[in-house]
Amino acid sequence: MSDLRPADGTKLLIGGKLLEGSGGVFATINPATGAHLGTAADATADDMGAAIAAARAAFDETDWSTDPAFRARCLRQLRDAMTEHVEELREITIAEVGAPRMLTSGPHLEGPVADLGFFADLAETYSWRTDLPIAEPMGLRTRRQLRREAVGVVGAITPWNFPHQINLAKIGPALAAGNAVVLKPAPDTPWCAAALGTLAAEHTDIPPGVLNVVTSSDHQVGALLSEDPRVDLVSFTGSTRTGKAVMAAAANTIKKVFLELGGKSAFVVLDDADIKAACSMAAFSVSVHAGQGCALCTRLLVPRSRYEEALAATAKTLGGIRAGDPDDPRTVCGPLISERQRDRVERYLALAGKEGGEIVVGGGRPADGGDGFFVEPTLIAGVSNAATVAREEIFGPVLVILPYEDDDDAIRIANDSPYGLSGAVWGTDPDRIDRVVSAIRTGTLGVNGGTWYAADAPFGGYKQSGIGREMGVAGFEEYLETKLVAYPA
């Protein structure tokens, strides 16, 4: 068994073998301290080409795509291997991602590992063939059968913010559906993906080439997945700007794309809600993992008639949340992933002031943050929904509070965004809540604290927040083609 944190660097997984990167290694950094963690294999374009070739051969030349029971067994083996090594994975996740320890028992690790079981079960129970009613097109009595088949080779490109969740939300359904996969993780979090590759190679019966993991410091290595004609589908999670580039590159070979992109979600507090409870929840949620979640609500919409009450409640909660050591089990808000990301957040905070906004709480670096990439949880007031900080995704622990006049105005402001990924509505009148929920153009909504994330629940957005759905049966079917076979009846 390989060490999941080897001193001399992690390995690539290509064609069933754990290999060095042709480009040597690149450094990994602990975002909580700014210190050097270790190294990861640095793949080149040649390595990516080899991984794509291995995936193509595995899909075309083995029976992986036609044996759902075998696929289910392999996915359960991967789940069990990750569960057996969960403490090693936990330490990697805290150190490399800056993930708060408390979140590794949920969405940062243990949750997505357990979710592999859902896709294993789905591979065994899904209706791969469905008979349609006999029809008589042009007077020809015909029996029709609908078949669902794997797309082929899937290129999965993932970000750094929730690496286990996003890696497994692509790998799980793609493999369950019968595809071969090439995973290219973000350069900031290669260890999480490399550990997955090591466990798959050493503890599962996944055939060589069916799963490949290619870490690299070069973003262009991942871009090859969008361009290569041997890849049938690209599944990308990341910024809307990069998603547009992925979509444009994929167009040259007319390959399918799944895109889960940015968000600027609205947390709508109706005037009959418990203002203190609602605003406290909004403040807490935007601080989770330092606000590095595309589906977190970063615009807080409150009734103008109760604005001062809402502002005070939000400021009190946000001011009580400390950005601190992710290894501390009490920490909710850890570091940003990198110095580059901290600089980006701080540029937005400076811009808020230039646009007439007021930083009510936070806005700086914690005094005890050392060399880590921390930013205090921050509340911005005094701007309209037209302000840059209210329109662009900051990806930090920053909440903008916006007053509205009535329910229609709240709906207008919530929808006045290029994004439509998530959101929340708080109130007491079920009819009003339902009207607001129905009118907001977004892919997921939580009502009064309801949680929409689960293995069987599809996730994705409207507008520039993406194309398609991840998780659930809908996410599984993203990785399938539809074939209609007609017979004489």
State the pLDDT at residue 86: 98
Both 320 and 424 in one domain: the answer is yes
| Among candidate residues 415, 322, 319, the one with its CA nearest the CA of residue 369 | 322
Q: Roughly how many angstroms between the first and final C-alpha of the chain, as a whole number?
A: 56
- Residue 455 located in a structural domain: no
For the chain, the domain total comes to 2
- Residue 456 located in a structural domain: no
For 221, 294, 307, 323, the CA distances from 319, given in Å and listed in that order, are: 42, 23, 18, 10
Both 31 and 89 in one domain: the answer is yes
| Torsions phi, psi for 269 (to 5 deg) | -105, 110
Q: For a pLDDT cut of 90, what percent of the chain falls above it?
A: 98
| Among candidate residues 264, 247, 279, the one with its CA nearest the CA of residue 361 | 279
CA distance 390 to 265: 10
State the pLDDT at residue 6: 74
| Among candidate residues 372, 414, 420, 380, the one with its CA nearest the CA of residue 398 | 380
Spell out the SS3 assignment of 89-121.
HHHHHHHHHCCCHHHHHCCCCHHHHHHHHHHHH
- Residue 30 located in a structural domain: yes
State the pLDDT at residue 7: 66
DSSP 66: G
Both 390 and 441 in one domain: the answer is yes
Contact between 76 and 117 under an 8 Å Cβ cutoff? The reply is yes
Both 234 and 321 in one domain: the answer is no
Both 373 and 317 in one domain: the answer is yes
- Residue 312 located in a structural domain: yes
- Residue 459 located in a structural domain: no
Both 117 and 200 in one domain: the answer is yes
CA distance 38 to 40: 7
State the pLDDT at residue 60: 98
Contact between 321 and 283 under an 8 Å Cβ cutoff? The reply is yes
Report the CATH number at residue 234: 3.40.605.10
Contact between 181 and 213 under an 8 Å Cβ cutoff? The reply is no
For 83, 129, 272, 314, 403, the CA distances from 282, given in Å and listed in that order, are: 32, 45, 16, 8, 15
Residues carrying an active site annotation: 260
Contact between 16 and 201 under an 8 Å Cβ cutoff? The reply is yes
At a CB cut-off of 8 Å and minimum separation 6, what does 126 contact? 68, 148, 473, 476
Report the CATH number at residue 403: 3.40.309.10
Helix axes 190-203, 163-176, angle to 10 degrees: 40
The ranges of the chain with pLDDT < 70 are 1-2, 7
| Among candidate residues 489, 488, 487, the one with its CA nearest the CA of residue 146 | 487
The neighbouring-strand residues paired with 131 are 145
Both 186 and 239 in one domain: the answer is yes
State the pLDDT at residue 5: 77
Q: Which domain holds residue 359?
A: 266-447
Contact between 318 and 291 under an 8 Å Cβ cutoff? The reply is no
Which amino acid would we find at residue 480?
A: L
Q: pLDDT tens for residues 415-474?
A: 999 999 999 999 999 999 999 999 999 999 999 999 999 999 999 999 999 999 999 999
Please return the burial class of 142, using the count of CB atoms within 10 Å of its CB with bins 0-12, 13-18 and 19+.
middle
Both 158 and 278 in one domain: the answer is no
- Residue 454 located in a structural domain: no
CA distance 322 to 300: 20
Contact between 488 and 140 under an 8 Å Cβ cutoff? The reply is yes
CA distance 335 to 287: 11
Both 279 and 214 in one domain: the answer is no
Both 282 and 234 in one domain: the answer is no
Both 436 and 290 in one domain: the answer is yes
Q: pLDDT tens for residues 32-60?
A: 999 999 999 999 999 999 999 999 999 99
Please return the burial class of 427, using the count of CB atoms within 10 Å of its CB with bins 0-12, 13-18 and 19+.
buried
- Residue 288 located in a structural domain: yes
- Residue 453 located in a structural domain: no
For 33, 56, 85, 258, 466, the CA distances from 243, given in Å and listed in that order, are: 31, 24, 33, 9, 8
Both 365 and 434 in one domain: the answer is yes
pTM higher than 0.95 for the full model?
A: yes
